[in-house]
Amino acid sequence: MSAIDLYATTLLVYFGVDVLAAWGLNLQYGLYGMYNFAFILFQSAGAYTAAILALGHPSNQFGGQQYFFGASLPFPLPIIVAGLVASVLGLAIALILRQGMRSDYQAIVTFVIAVMALLTVSAIIPLFNGQAGLSQVPQPLASALHVSSAGYAWIYVAFVAIVCLISYVIIRRLMGSPLGRAVRAVRENANGAAALGVNATWCRIVVSVLGAAMAGVSGALLVEFIGTWSPGSWSYAETLVIFSAIIVGGVGNNIGVLIGVFVTQIIFAEGSRFLPTSLPPNLVGSLQWIVIGVMTLAFLWFRPQGIVPEKRYCVPAAPAGERRIAAEQAEPAAVAGRPFVSGEGEQ
Amino acid sequence: MLIVPAVGFGLATASYVALASVGFTLQAGVTNIFNFAYGDIMITAAFVAYVVNRAGGGLWEILIVGAATGAVVSVAFNRLLFRRFVRHGINPFGMLIVTLWAGIILQNILLALFGPQFFSLSVSSGRLFDFFGPRGILLTSVQIISIGLAVAAVLIVAIGLRYTRVGMAMRALATNPNLAQSSGVPARKILDYTWVVSGIFCGLGGVVLALATGAFEQTTGEEFLVIIFAATVLGGVGRPVGAAVASLVLGIVIEVSALFIPPSLKELVAFAVLLAVLVIRPSGLFSLAKEGAEVAVV
């Protein structure tokens, strides 16, 4: 496989995986308003699940890797099970972050969960090989396809693209459906939505489970391509980067989120090209984080709605022309597309 | 029995948890901003202390330098970032993103300046004091100093908040910033004082943490932040005595539980307690109802 092929396919797979995860977080945060700093946990659960379901029984490992269970399931199964495991976690998080919890408390609860999970997985080696992590995860169908490694990589890119496309269709349909409107109503005014008979807990469970499943599948897709997964891949800062991608792109807007992921990824993947080559490598790494941080702060300050803001959804109240105009005039200032504004979207 | 020496370790752990969380609880209680960069400011103070230590500074010099660093960085963060974003009308969650990124930026500045390795402060730990006989509690003089600092910090903040004019103004701002401002409380000045005082304890906490853990790197503070959250939330946000009691309980629980579970998991006990409290009673065990408190716009 040539260097260009390797570089391009790796970048594209990462891009697809990050977009999938960011769409999942956008469902939870952008559509509903869950403040979930443990989001990376879903991706990680998916990655670990897919890894142990593809690696085979632990006793067959030569590298001395330790992990529990272990099986070698045929191709699509590890990814599907990964999504299921992540969605169970999503259900748990949805039940913990109950309605009316202050946004900063939600963030602290999930932050603590993320730190605890990282500490546990790093410390208990028989779980997922501790700090060293799992490696040598086999690529699915690599022997069955009879193609060169470059051809395989491009087929995998196409596969990731198809998964992204299917997910996009699903979340678009959800966002436009009556349920999607109900979720948005809970975000804008939880009490008002409750008065109209919207069940906020159900809405939260739906977005959380679906978002988590997408993150889980994204983790599975990544680990089956790059072959390794370790605690270094899922510190809480990774969740923050996904949040940044959403903020930069546009909270609540799927196309915006895609652009946001692209921008943050360009900084991580290509940012080092704009720096002098004489800099030590750890300085380049820190500068990339600093640039993303400053960019996020700048967007929060100058353009909190992001590059592509969320669309305003106007639903005609009644077919009669006059009442419709009255309803539009009576509509309060647009809240959609104005995230981070104090006093709105809170509780 | 090993329980008694473990309690001694617990006291030493509790002292630096208390020192840091008294500052944090004051900051979060008065400003209503949960500053996720707090742990990173702590470790910045430890790094500055490290530079002074290398240049020949002793224990008292590095404590003073650490306190000054904590205060300066805290006030700078408030003036340059946090206060401006509050005036800009950001909501509490947006503010969290701001403080989190501020912390990560600080971490990466430290990483760029010092490089990815562990550092340690070389201060003689002084002579050993043993309490309750040879199998009792054994403390070094540095540990006794850190316990003394923690006790002093709790007393200063608790008495100051209760009886001084500045303390009363802080409490007024914490309860109702609009009413306090219209009653003539100079909010901007009082909040600056809050950031200075909490920053001093933050810096002291960072230096004492660096002394206690032996080796530190730029992410040490961020990892420690969860324990500070635990002490603050358990004690009730804005309540220094509560934070101190919670630190004592957490410190002893952490060190005693290390006798029964793998030491690398000892902090999990503290986190589990925190999680249970957050989920069941988010306002903390001893707290007055503080949900929905507003952030002062100055």
Query: What was the pLDDT predicted at A168?
Result: 95
Query: Residue B250 pLDDT more than 80?
Result: yes
What average pLDDT does this structure show over A300-326?
A: 71
Mutant choice from B91, B106, B290 vs A, greatest count of A C-beta within 10 A? B91
Q: Are the beta carbons of A287 and B229 separated by less than 8 Å?
A: no
Beta strands in chain B (DSSP E): 128-131, 137-140
Q: How far apart are CA B74 and CA B83, in angstroms?
A: 12
Q: How far apart are CA B144 and CA B140, in angstroms?
A: 6
* Residue of chain A nearest B273, judged by CA positions: A112
**For chain A, where are the alpha helices, taking DSSP H only?**
3-25, 39-55, 76-96, 103-123, 125-128, 149-176, 178-188, 190-195, 200-226, 236-249, 254-270, 281-302, 321-330
Q: Give, as one character, the DSSP assignment of residue A131.
A: G
Query: What was the pLDDT predicted at A163?
Result: 96
What average pLDDT does this structure show over A105-121?
A: 88
CA nearest to B268, candidates A12, A330, A119: A119
- Name chain B contacts of A289, Cβ cutoff 8 Å: 104-105, 107-108
CA distances from A167 to A164, A245, A304 (A): 5, 18, 26
Beta-bridge partners for A134: A229
Query: Residue B291 pLDDT more than 60?
Result: no
The predicted-structure confidence for A270-285, as pLDDT tens digits, reads as follows 766 666 667 776 778 8
Inter-residue contact A19 to A195 (CB < 8 Å)? no
- Name chain B contacts of A246, Cβ cutoff 8 Å: none
The predicted-structure confidence for A205-222, as pLDDT tens digits, reads as follows 999 999 999 999 999 999
**Which amino acid is present at B53?**
N
Quickly state the pLDDT bin for A242 (edges 50, 70, 90). Answer: very high
What average pLDDT does this structure show over A9-15?
A: 91
Q: How far apart are CA B93 and CA A23, in angstroms?
A: 19
Query: Residue B11 pLDDT more than 60?
Result: yes
CA distances from B54 to B47, B114, B120, B123, B258 (A): 11, 13, 10, 10, 33
CA atoms in the 13 A half-sphere facing the CB of B193: 19
- Name chain B contacts of A343, Cβ cutoff 8 Å: 91
Query: Residue B98 pLDDT more than 90?
Result: yes
Taking one residue from A and the other from B, the number of pairs with CB-CB distance under 8 angstroms is: 128
What's the mean per-residue pLDDT of chain B? 87
What average pLDDT does this structure show over A227-247?
A: 91
Query: Residue A318 pLDDT more than 60?
Result: no
Mutant choice from A32, A34, A105, A188 vs B, greatest count of B C-beta within 10 A? A105
Query: What was the pLDDT predicted at B283?
Result: 60
**Which amino acid is present at B281?**
R
Query: What was the pLDDT predicted at B144?
Result: 87
Residue B294, Cβ neighbours under 10 Å: how many?
A: 15
Query: What was the pLDDT predicted at A259?
Result: 94
For A201, phi and psi rounded to 5 degrees? Answer: -60, -45
Quickly state the pLDDT bin for A57 (edges 50, 70, 90). Answer: confident
Length of chain B: 298
Query: Residue A346 pLDDT more than 50?
Result: no
CA distances from B81 to A164, A177, B35, B54, B94 (A): 37, 40, 12, 32, 12
Nearest chain A Cα distance for residue B79, angstroms:
15
Query: What was the pLDDT predicted at B64?
Result: 95
User: Any idea what the Cα angle at residue B73 is, between residues B69 and B78, rounded to 5°?
Assistant: 150
Give SS3 for B90.
strand
Q: Are the beta carbons of A123 and B262 separated by less than 8 Å?
A: yes
Q: Are the beta carbons of B112 and A286 separated by less than 8 Å?
A: yes
Quickly state the pLDDT bin for A333 (edges 50, 70, 90). Answer: very low
Query: Residue A315 pLDDT more than 50?
Result: yes
Mutant choice from B31, B106, B108 vs A, greatest count of A C-beta within 10 A? B108
The predicted-structure confidence for A156-196, as pLDDT tens digits, reads as follows 999 999 999 999 999 999 988 999 999 999 988 888 898 99
Q: How far apart are CA A211 and CA A223, in angstroms?
A: 19
Q: How far apart are CA A254 and CA A327, in angstroms?
A: 28
- Name chain A contacts of B105, Cβ cutoff 8 Å: 289-290, 293-294
Inter-residue contact A193 to A107 (CB < 8 Å)? no
Query: Residue A325 pLDDT more than 70?
Result: no
Range from A6-10, A66-70, B205-209, B276-280 that averages highest in pLDDT: B205-209
Query: What was the pLDDT predicted at B284?
Result: 56
The partner residue sitting opposite A104, judged by closest CB among B92, B105, B262, is B92
What average pLDDT does this structure show over B167-193?
A: 91
Report which secondary-structure segment, H or E, holds B147. helix B141-163
Inter-residue contact B250 to B227 (CB < 8 Å)? yes
Question: For the purposes of burial, counting CB atoms within 10 Å of the CB of A83, is it exposed (0-12), middle (13-18) or buried (19 or more)?
Answer: buried
